[in-house]
Chain A
Amino acid sequence: MKFIFMLFFLSAVSLFAQNEFVKWEAAPASYEINNADRHDYTLDRSGFGMTILSVLRNGYYFFVSDLDGDNCAFSPSCSAFFLQAVKETSIFKGALMFADRFTRDINFFKGLNHYPQLPDRKFYDPSSNYTLHSAKIKFNLP
Chain B
Amino acid sequence: MTIDTKILLRIFLIIALISASQAIYCQSNQGENIFSPENRLKFGNYLYKEKDYLRALPELKEYLKTKTDDTTQFRFADCFFRLNRFSEAEYNFRTLFSSPTLADESRLKFFESLFFDNDYAALREYSERNSYSDFKYSNEVNRLKYISFFFDDSILPKENEMLNAFPDSVRPQILNYYLLKKFPPAKSVATAAILSAIIPGAGKIYTGEIGDGITAFAATALSAYLAYSNFHNDHQFRGWLFTGLTAFFYGGNIYGSAASAQIYNVRMKFDFQKSVKLFFEERNYFLPEINF
Residues of A in contact with B (beta carbons under 8 Å apart): 14, 17-18, 20-23, 93, 95-104, 106-110, 112-114, 129-132, 134, 137, 139
Contacts and interface: CB of A to CB of B under 8 A. Distances in A.
B262 interface: yes
A130 B259 contact: yes
Q: Closest 5 A-B residue pairs measured CB to CB?
A: A99-B252, A100-B256, A109-B211, A17-B51, A107-B215
Nearest to B200: A103
Interface stretch (B14-22, B33-41, B265-273): B265-273
Interface string B248-290: 1101110110110011011100100000000000000000000
B255 A137 contact: no
Given A20-B55, A21-B54, A109-B211, 7 more contacts: A103-B215, A103-B219, A103-B252, A106-B219, A108-B215, A139-B267, A139-B270
B211 A113 contact: yes
B99 to A, nearest CB: 26
A119 B271 CA distance: 22
Contact of B83 (A21, A93, A100, A113): A21
B272 to A, nearest CB: 12
B162 interface: no
Contacts of A110: 211-212
Most chain B CB inside 10 Å of its own CB: which residue of A102, A107, A110: A107
Interface in B216-262: 216, 219, 248-249, 251-253, 255-256, 258-259, 262
Interface residues of B, number: 32
10 contacts: A18-B52, A20-B52, A20-B54, A97-B256, A99-B251, A99-B252, A99-B256, A102-B252, A103-B219, A132-B189
B53 interface: yes
Contacts of A98: 252
B171 interface: no
Nearest to A96: B255
Contact of B53 (A18, A93, A129, A139): A18
Contact of B267 (A99, A101, A109, A114): A114
B209 interface: yes
B255 A97 contact: yes
B203 to A, nearest CB: 11
Contacts of A113: 209, 211-212
B51 A100 contact: no
Nearest to A129: B263
B84 A99 contact: no
B259 to A, nearest CB: 4
A132 B249 contact: no
A109 B218 CA distance: 14
Contact of A130 (B50, B84, B256): B256
A15 to B, nearest CB: 10
Nearest to A106: B215
Interface in B46-93: 50-55, 82-84
B211 A108 contact: yes
Interface in B1-16: none
A17 B52 contact: yes
Contacts of B219: 103, 106
A112 B208 CA distance: 11
B249 to A, nearest CB: 6
